[in-house]
Amino acid sequence: MLKFLSIRDFVIVSSLELEFQAGFTALTGETGAGKSILLDALSLALGERGDANMVRIGCERAEITAEFEIGAQPALQSWLNAQELEGDDGVCLMRRVLEAGGRSRGFINGRSATLQQMREAGELLLNIHGQHAHQSLLRPESQRELLDGYAGLQADAAQVATLYREWQGLLERRIALSENSQTAAAERELLLFQRAELEGLAFNLIDWQELQVEYQRLAHAAGLLETAAFGVECLSDADAACLAQINALLTRLHDGVLHDPSLADTVRMLESAQADLQEVVYALRHYQQRLDADPQQLEEKEQRIKAVMDMARKYRVLPERLDEVLQQTILHLAELGGEVDLAELAEQEKLAQNRYLLAAQQLSRARKVAAAKLTAEISAAMQKLAMQGGSFAVVLLPLAEGNAHGLDSIEFRVAANPGVPQRNIAKVASGGELSRISLAIQVATSQLASVPTLIFDEVDSGIGGRVAEIVGQLLGQLGHNYQVLCVTHLPQVAAEADWQWQVSKVIADGVTLSRIEVLDAERRIEEIARMLGGVTITETTRKHAAEMLGMAA
């Protein structure tokens, strides 16, 4: 529900702050006083396009802020959370700044928002009914949703949409597989061969790395044995081996220490070197014992390396990537789905189609019943709203194969006058007629209240007297379930309102400004009298106005 509206430097409004109440509020005033400014400002705050001409002359920018209470609107709260635009609990702030240079900025709950986001939020906050091309009543999807909501068929419609998607998914899969069955079969055969070939190689990256190290060792085994033997001989076995020379030197140094103790450190260093060299001899002899120069093993490893290298060249990758090629081949096979029985798939598709058709036919039958009832209610309401002889119809147009919304497309048709054929409501209804038809629909479907605020502009165009009083009563009836605002020039409509605001123009320092005042009971009598009597207001007119307000109360 709209709670507060602040307007700054917008058209002929300098500064205006309004607090709104539940129920039915009428906006009245002289022609040209600026009654439409309120609606224009709200539209701008809810994402409509603006231009620099909307900024009050001499000002840098116009700013509109609207505060809504949304505690009873879980759909809007979910949308705000999904868009990361949530604010204080139960509150939605819509703010729009329009600069004189033409730049425009929008904010939702203090966060920057695109015009599209503001429009989406606005569609969940209020509807403006009047001569506005974007009005939701004209959209086919809104007409379908309205009928389904009126009949309580939202869950059935959602189920039909789910079944339709399942059917179409199977249909598309069967067609794709059927059209490409030969190509797919050839591709699958090649992939199966490649998978078998790669799996047969049994390539493993760790084994491959160890294989190369072992091959290098075996390939150079003779040279490595010779090197080890030379080391053992040089260090230990030769007549002039290093260890023998070191042992002889140690013997002499030990004798020397007896005569000069300063040689002790040298002896210790040489003993350490002797021990290290002895360890080297042990290691080289152990290496000689375990080194295998088996030519057969070398040949086997050469064959393994050749097999891996040949496979890598075939697939044009480094050997290290052969396992990755195998995994890609397996994944591609999985994507193809393996061998698919087209006959079995066609049977699944047929079952899915039958499930969809059964649910869609049930939905159509329920829609026809609801359409007849809604048609009668709205047509009856039209007779009271200065469209005697006119008619309204909710028409279900059959779709050959159906779609996600069922086997019908929904179309609202209207004949505003007797003797003329019904045609699409978007093409034949005038602004005033469309507003009154919208009013009749809103009254008939008031239990659906998904948008809490309804604004009516010019719903009383071209009517008066008894019909105007009926329009006022209908708006008052809507006010029990909705917050209703109506711009009107008819006293019969204004008298039915719970609240009445007067829009007027004043001249301050040579500048024309618009202002809005909330009228108390006494001033309401004066305003209703003005609407009844024109320039000269007599006591009789005032009495008539008071009587009209009393009867409405």
**pLDDT tens digits along 103-135:** 999 999 999 999 999 999 998 898 776 544 335
pLDDT at 401: 84
**Radius of gyration from C-alpha coordinates of the chain:** 45
pLDDT at 96: 95
Q: Residue length, the chain?
A: 553
Residues of the chain under the 70 pLDDT cut: 32-34, 129-136, 180-182, 184, 218-226, 228-229, 288-295, 297-298, 337-341, 428-432, 435, 446-450, 458-463, 534-535
**Where do the H-state alpha helices sit in 233-341?**
242-259, 264-290, 295-314, 322-336
DSSP sequence for 467-533: HHHHHHHHHHHHTTTSEEEEE---HHHHHT-SEEEEEEEEEETTEEEEEEEE--HHHHHHHHHHHHH
Question: How many angstroms separate the CA atoms of 194 and 337, rounded?
Answer: 17
The residues with which 5 forms a beta bridge, in sequence order, are 18, 66
Q: Which domains does the chain have, with CATH numbers?
A: 1-130+498-517 (3.40.50.300), 186-336 (no CATH)
Segment holding 12, helix H or strand E: none
Q: Does the pTM exceed 0.85?
A: no
Segment holding 23, helix H or strand E: strand 23-29
